[in-house]
Structure 1
Amino acid sequence: MNLSCLLCYQASPAPVCHWCEHDIFFFSAKDHGNNLLSFGPVGRHVKHSAYQQLSVLALHTYPITTLIHGFKFQHSLTSGKVLAKWFVGKQQHLAHHTPPLPHTTAQLLLPVPLSSWRLATRHYNQAAVLAKSIGSALNIPICTNWAIRQGRSAQHHLGKAQRLQHAKQVFSLTPQCIDKLVASNPDLKRIAIVDDVITTGVTVNALASLLRARYPQLSILVWAMTFTPPPKSSLLAAR
């Protein structure tokens, strides 16, 4: 079978050739720590009052932005599989890190919900697709009907203040949420909200706030594929 790279379109035995993969800015425990909330160039720019840990695959810059865009807006599920595979590799590496890293593994994955209107037009929730692939590979259960997102407007074009106001209005927990999972699993201590892109952290923090109010005994993590840096970020200069 003749395959071409999803990014440069050159012949490649893998969906993304090793040259393009090499060009991606991947976050690593060695250089950035296992919790990006403690890494200034990220932690200073994301709202995180309601969750304790942030794990991100890569910086939201070219060429990985092409994968994200294709996955979200061009129905490229292959791009989503590549992102999930890379994130799984990251988590497996953290699990075998020496010395051991504390509390890096989630026990339940909760994909950020998509509005009914957006789901009808896109036909899939990209966060749920990622969570299912990651959960399957890492043997972590997922719950997709834990929260509801109302309205039609997307957030990628909104500023931070607008995102904050928007997030407070559109999200709510479902009546059951994860009640049964919590009741049936007394060892459940860490849950992870899964999203494709984190920019200001407002969306995941709003959802984490709802979860924290309902399940104060749980630690809340956020797993995302990319982090969008602010325009003058030192991370951009480091590329």
Structure 2
Amino acid sequence: MSDSQQSQFDVDLHRANNVLVAVQDFVQEVRRRKAISDIKTIVDNSSKHFNGGYVEQAPEYFTEKYLIEPVLERLGLEPWPRPVDLVKDERNRPDYRIDGVVENCLVIAESKALNRERQHSKATEDMRTYLNDQTFLKTLRNREVRYSIGIATDGLEWRLIARDAEEDVLTEVGSAFIDSPVGTALTKAHSTVDPEEDWMPDARREVADSLVDMFGRENILHVAAEELGYV
């Protein structure tokens, strides 16, 4: 491994560790609301519906505030909620503009409540609409932006979608999942058996090799451009 590869590997591990801290914070919020068992059932079963009554709050808002936004930030991204500068029609506005990537790339994100992406691909469905919206494409042209990248997520599945505005190519790059570390953290918070068992090293490597490798600030544009065939 070269020095530059080692350096990037270290950055990815650091970001993965921060993501796990965000996961643990999420679990603590779930625990505060006495919803560990209910949320664990949702995480373990992708067909399970997230009922807002479990946390006494709208499911999508809860997922955004306590899981999606913190994970985005730990990935080194800068989520700007409910942007109004991309399209005029409110119905076609993504949930987030993502800042902090590079100048020639516009990143947006669409969020859904736990399991709505894993079960029905609802965030991906909406993201495809945004990336094909003519007003959005006009915004790209006006800003001289070649690449637009979409992040579609319910907090457990994270899907990357990329568009090359110059070549008019749209492709789904791939997905990463963090349901396993989220489930483990929920189990540890709920269990009296080996609650201090150190699960973090394995989880850190898993998150670094999947979520961070695809969505980390240093990686996301390269991954998208490579899939589009321009790297």
- TM-score tier, shorter chain, comes to 0.3 to 0.5
Higher relative contact order (CA 8 A, sep 6+): 1
Of Structure 1 and Structure 2, the greater helix share is in 2
Normalising by the residue count of structure 2, what TM-score does the alignment of the two structures yield? 0.32
